[in-house]
Amino acid sequence: LSDCLACDNCMTSEEGARVFQQNQKELFRILNLNKKCDTSKHKVLAVSICPQSLPYFAAKFSLSVNDAAKRLCGFLKSLGVHYVFDTTIAADFSILESQREFVQRYQRRNQEEHALPMFASACPG
């Protein structure tokens, strides 16, 4: 749960607290608090952008995916977000690790009764 990004893909009761912490009202509340206080007392805001969202923005605003990423990052930073992370590399690692695990399970399918099927998730956390 500590790695959960509250992406809503696997929503269970445990993620409920995370979703509350990662909603639009809470983001703007913290942005407004940061504007009113000394920078030494700012809450650090970090936003992660998943690769699936960028093509939507690119199509909506007739931009390339790369330009959409740059503009979205610039917009978020102009609001007061401190860090913007692209989770594409994390998604790539997740796919590679799932592939590695599947190959291992497939090779053990005759020795272990429960080696297959293998269930996987695209959870970016």
Give the C-alpha distances (Å, rounded to integers) separating 10 from 20, 89, 90: 15, 21, 18
Q: What does the pLDDT read at residue 106?
A: 93
pLDDT tens by residue, 94-125: 888 889 999 999 999 899 888 888 877 665 55
| 54/70 Cα distance (integer angstroms) | 10
Residue 117: asked if its preceding bond is cis (omega within 30°), the reply is yes
Mean pLDDT of the chain: 81
Q: What does the pLDDT read at residue 1?
A: 47
Neighbouring CB atoms inside 10 A of 72's CB total 20
Task: Give the 3-state DSSP-derived string for 19-68, with helices as H, strands as E and coil as C.
Answer: HHHCCHHHHHHHHHHHHHCCHHHCCCCEEEECCCCHHHHHHHCCCCHHHH
- pLDDT band of 7, cuts 50, 70, 90: low
Statement: residue 15 has pLDDT above 60: no
pLDDT tens by residue, 55-82: 888 999 999 999 999 999 999 999 999 9
Mean pLDDT of 28-36: 88
